[in-house]
Amino acid sequence: MNSIVDSIKRLLPALGPVSRTERFRACIGAFLGIFATGIASEAALGATSSVPLLIAPMGASAVLLFAVPSSPLAQPWSILCGNVLACLVGVTCAHWIPDLVIASSVAVGVAIALMMITKSLHPPSGAVALTAVLGGPVVHDLGYSFVIWPVGLNSLLLLVIAIVYNNLTGRRYPHFTQMPQINVHKTADPIPTERIGFVPDDLNFALRQYDELIDVSPDDLDAILHKAQMHAYGRRFGEIRCGEIMSSDIVSVGADTSLRRAWTLLRQHRIKALPVLNDERKLIGIVTQTDFMQNAAWPAPTRFQSGIVRLFGRNGNERRVVADIMTAPVQFVAPETLVTELVPAMADRGLHHLPVADETGRVLGIVTQSDLIAALYARNIHDRRGPERLSLAS
């Protein structure tokens, strides 16, 4: 009996874990999508119209658009181009091939071929092609106008609702193809986090070897694998958090602090960044040595000291303040953020300092690249010495 149960369990698809909230969100979205599409269709055609207000494949499209909006099969190009192409093929086959079985088979096969060529594969579109062939006299009488209404406009209405609903409920939709990250130093080297572990070329190689269409985009798969990798780093280096390693005795300035005073503080404390706070000590920006250098009016011949002096007051009388050159808005982290989560920001995006603030934006401290390196180094030393101490104790 147990072997039978185990065999049945093996037939169940291995879906990723999702919360009850996500399941509820998908169900409500599909309900609203079909309901709103039906209401809009009825308002346009009237309740007694002989044209179908909704077509059955829209139910399958709703499953994709609201339950798996990250799927490549659920993207706007897929639903619009896929449904329209499939409908065109179905209407053409219904018109030229008298045998319904042959017409249906050709319509679905050709529709899939065209969708794969145009990268618009959308499973419900196969049902659209079939509907165009087997829809009966009402559909056949519409001819190619069936492509525009109800198929085209049904698809468009459902897509608009999916875009609005998914984004309002916290789901990024549509999923745009991610552009490769550019090295901030503008050199030919890959970004630091891509110099170890797998890189996109490795992932593409594996997908080519797999040679089977999978229902996840390479970009999303890459992001998932990198999150798993970061989680593994976190497990390896322990749960060190920003609040444990941050400098809490910070030197800060206000937006109206003079640039001369800010530069003096940088040199006096031998630091490279100053958080810019308002009267409530909430973060409104950051000013760094790089900001000074980028905004200095360099004389000829170029001299650093002269450029900085000119920046303080270009005309000798003009008093320039921090607000003139600070970076805003500025990225910050919470004290409970794991230090391993700082690696992409500091290594790939070139951030050298990250303020630490609470949920209200009040600054509690600052974490630098030096703090991050020291924390990871200390943890690595701890891990290496741990087994040695155990062996000595035994």
82 touches 65 (CB < 8 A): no
- Mean per-residue pLDDT of the chain: 82
Write out pLDDT tens, residues 242-263: 888 898 898 999 999 999 999 9
What is the reported pTM?
0.63
Q: For the chain, which residues make up each domain, given as ranges?
A: 15-168, 243-380
Strands (E), 239-370: 273-277, 283-288, 353-357, 363-368
Write out pLDDT tens, residues 150-193: 899 999 999 999 999 999 999 989 988 766 556 555 556 565 55
d(Cα 80, Cα 122) in Å, to the nearest integer? 9
* Confidence at residue 388, expressed as pLDDT on a 0 to 100 scale: 46
Q: Is the pLDDT of residue 59 over 70?
A: yes
Instruction: Name which residue leads in pLDDT, 296 or 30.
Output: 30
DSSP string, 80-146: HHHHHHHHHHHHHHHHH---HHHHHHHHHHHHHHHHHHTT---THHHHHHHHHHHS-HHHHHHTTHH
- Phi and psi at residue 286, to the nearest 5°: -150, 145
63 touches 158 (CB < 8 A): no
* Confidence at residue 394, expressed as pLDDT on a 0 to 100 scale: 35
* Segments in the chain forming alpha helices (H): 2-11, 20-45, 57-62, 76-96, 100-117, 124-134, 137-142, 145-146, 153-168, 200-210, 218-237, 242-245, 259-269, 289-295, 304-312, 343, 369-393
Share of the chain above pLDDT 70, in %: 78
Q: Is the pLDDT of residue 302 over 60?
A: no
Instruction: Name which residue leads in pLDDT, 139 or 200.
Output: 139
- Three-class SS of residue 235? helix
Comparing C-alpha atoms, which of 5, 2, 4, 16 is closest to residue 228?
16
- Omega within 30 of 0 (cis) for the link into 329: yes
CATH number assigned to the domain covering 243-380: 3.10.580.10
Mean pLDDT value of segment 205-229: 78
* Confidence at residue 212, expressed as pLDDT on a 0 to 100 scale: 79
Question: What would the two tokens of residue 12 be?
Answer: 């169940």
d(Cα 49, Cα 43) in Å, to the nearest integer? 10
From residue 229, how far is each of 96, 222, 237, 379, 383 by CA, in Å? 55, 10, 12, 18, 19
Q: What is the DSSP secondary structure assignment for residue 64, as one 8-state letter?
A: I
- What confidence category does residue 392 fall into, taking pLDDT thresholds of 50, 70 and 90? very low
84 touches 156 (CB < 8 A): no
* Confidence at residue 116, expressed as pLDDT on a 0 to 100 scale: 96
Instruction: Name which residue leads in pLDDT, 146 or 192.
Output: 146
d(Cα 24, Cα 330) in Å, to the nearest integer? 35
Q: Is the pLDDT of residue 58 over 70?
A: yes
Instruction: Name which residue leads in pLDDT, 296 or 75.
Output: 75
Question: 101: burial class by Cβ within 10 Å (0-12, 13-18, 19+)?
Answer: exposed
Q: Is the pLDDT of residue 222 over 50?
A: yes
Question: What would the two tokens of residue 162 be?
Answer: 């999916």
75: left (phi over 0), alpha (psi -120 to 50) or beta: beta
380 touches 350 (CB < 8 A): no
Residue 181: how many CB atoms within 10 A of its CB?
14
Mean pLDDT value of segment 318-333: 88
- What confidence category does residue 281 fall into, taking pLDDT thresholds of 50, 70 and 90? confident
Mean pLDDT value of segment 327-342: 88
Give residue for tokens 């170890």.
196
326 touches 287 (CB < 8 A): yes
* Confidence at residue 344, expressed as pLDDT on a 0 to 100 scale: 77
Share of the chain above pLDDT 90, in %: 46
Give residue for tokens 């609005």.
164
* Confidence at residue 205, expressed as pLDDT on a 0 to 100 scale: 82
* Confidence at residue 357, expressed as pLDDT on a 0 to 100 scale: 93
* Confidence at residue 334, expressed as pLDDT on a 0 to 100 scale: 93
Q: Which amino acid is at 293?
A: M
Q: Is the pLDDT of residue 49 over 80?
A: no
Q: Determine which of 164-168, 206-210, 283-287, 360-364 has the lowest per-residue pLDDT on average.
A: 206-210
* Confidence at residue 80, expressed as pLDDT on a 0 to 100 scale: 97
Q: Is the pLDDT of residue 226 over 80?
A: no
* Confidence at residue 317, expressed as pLDDT on a 0 to 100 scale: 46
295 touches 227 (CB < 8 A): no
d(Cα 379, Cα 371) in Å, to the nearest integer? 12
d(Cα 107, Cα 146) in Å, to the nearest integer? 15
- Three-class SS of residue 349? coil
* Confidence at residue 223, expressed as pLDDT on a 0 to 100 scale: 74
* Confidence at residue 341, expressed as pLDDT on a 0 to 100 scale: 81
